[in-house]
């Protein structure tokens, strides 16, 4: 009996010992590479966003005048992270990204229309139907020491707006009666907003057993903007928050993000914002 017990222990001891050790997929190489190694991960996220800028020269015109209804709710972002670990404290990260978004809204406001007989243009009540298509390309480089990182960021962004504007009436009246007819009651417009934004910032990393948290603050100097044929340079700031690492499987984790950029006004533009939040999956 004792001999049989010894034989059974000899057979099952390696299996029992292996069960006590973590599986290779549980070793935390999902989030960080070992010193001297590269790690590559990618993230695909659903990212609703709000993009706006207001041309304050002449008749005010905002790219997206209604915050919630003017958001692009059909939007996706794809990112890759190439991370090289120099040693146990220093690492270098490169994060290219791209996104595509679409939004639609309709609202009532005032719009300028030319008159048929009188000279000049007149602001009249109108209905707006707006389609918005946005696209961007970006690259972020980070030099990280332990829990703090130093960032350089560039992002090229284009937003195309298609508008159908319909005056509520084909003629103009005032208290004295009929004034004139409008030259056209309906018109279609296409406007393009382009932006080249640089950023310098500091990032703070907070590792956790299940999550990696990163918060970064950026200064965006000399951001070039072009809207409705006018261009200018704006200075601004940015906030970027990320949390990722909760594993859905050995190679897939949950990723959350929040980004808010805003720029200070000048004589031509104000209300320049970019707001985006995301939820997606990170693949390793």
Secondary structure (DSSP) of 47-58 = --EEEEEEE-SS
Q: Is residue 184 assigned to a domain?
A: yes
pLDDT exceeds cutoff 50 at 4: no
Q: How many CA atoms lie within 13 A of 4 on its CB side?
A: 1
What are the angstrom distances between the C-alpha of 51 and each of 89, 149, 194, 261?
Answer: 37, 27, 11, 10
DSSP alpha helix (H) spans, 121-226? none
pLDDT exceeds cutoff 50 at 18: no
The distance of Cα 230 from the centroid of its chain, to the nearest Å, equals: 24
pLDDT exceeds cutoff 70 at 17: no
Q: Is residue 24 assigned to a domain?
A: no
Nearest one of 224, 237, 238 to 268, comparing CA atoms = 224
Mean pLDDT of 145-159: 96
Q: For residue 203, how many other CB atoms are within 10 A of its CB? A: 21
Q: Is residue 16 assigned to a domain?
A: no
Q: Is residue 9 assigned to a domain?
A: no
User: Residue 118 is inside which H or E element, if any?
Assistant: none
Q: Is residue 233 assigned to a domain?
A: yes
Q: Is residue 200 assigned to a domain?
A: yes
Quick one: pLDDT at residue 184?
A: 85
Q: How many CA atoms lie within 13 A of 149 on its CB side?
A: 24
pLDDT tens string 63-77: 888 888 889 999 999
Specify the higher pLDDT residue, 16 or 176: 176
pLDDT tens string 106-146: 999 888 888 888 888 888 899 999 999 999 999 999 999 99
Q: Is residue 61 assigned to a domain?
A: yes
What are the angstrom distances between the C-alpha of 257 and each of 240, 241, 272?
Answer: 8, 6, 21
Q: Is residue 72 assigned to a domain?
A: yes
Q: Which domain holds residue 106?
A: 29-283
The count of structural domains within the chain is 1
Here the CATH number for the domain that contains residue 208 is 2.40.128
């Amino acid at each position: 009996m004792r001999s049989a017990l010894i034989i059974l222990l000899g057979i099952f001891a390696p299996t029992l010992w292996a069960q006590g050790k973590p599986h290779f997929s549980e070793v935390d190489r999902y989030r960080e590479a070992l010193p001297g190694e590269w790690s590559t991960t990618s993230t695909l996220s659903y990212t609703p966003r709000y993009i706006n800028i207001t041309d304050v020269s002449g008749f005010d015109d905002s790219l997206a005048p209604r915050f919630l209804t003017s958001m692009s709710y059909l939007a996706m972002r794809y990112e890759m992270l190439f991370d090289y670990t120099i040693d146990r404290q220093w690492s270098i990260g490169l994060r290219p990204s791209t996104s595509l978004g679409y939004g639609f809204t309709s609202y009532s406001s005032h719009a300028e229309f030319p008159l048929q007989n009188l000279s000049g243009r007149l602001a009249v009540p109108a209905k707006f139907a707006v389609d918005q298509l946005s696209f961007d390309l970006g690259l972020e480089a980070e030099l990280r020491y332990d829990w703090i990182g130093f960032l350089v960021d560039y992002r090229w962004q284009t937003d195309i707006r298609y508008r159908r504007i319909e005056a509520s009436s084909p003629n103009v009246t005032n208290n004295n009666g009929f004034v004139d007819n409008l030259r056209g009651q309906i018109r279609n417009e296409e406007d393009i907003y382009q932006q080249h934004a640089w950023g310098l910032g500091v990032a703070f990393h907070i590792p956790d057993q299940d999550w990696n948290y990163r918060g970064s603050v950026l200064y965006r100097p000399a951001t070039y903007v072009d809207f409705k044929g006018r261009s200018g340079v704006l200075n601004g700031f940015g906030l970027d928050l990320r949390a990722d690492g909760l594993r859905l499987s050995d190679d897939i984790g949950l990723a959350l993000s929040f980004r808010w950029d805003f720029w200070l006004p000048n004589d031509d533009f104000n209300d320049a914002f970019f707001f985006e939040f995301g939820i997606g999956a990170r693949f390793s």
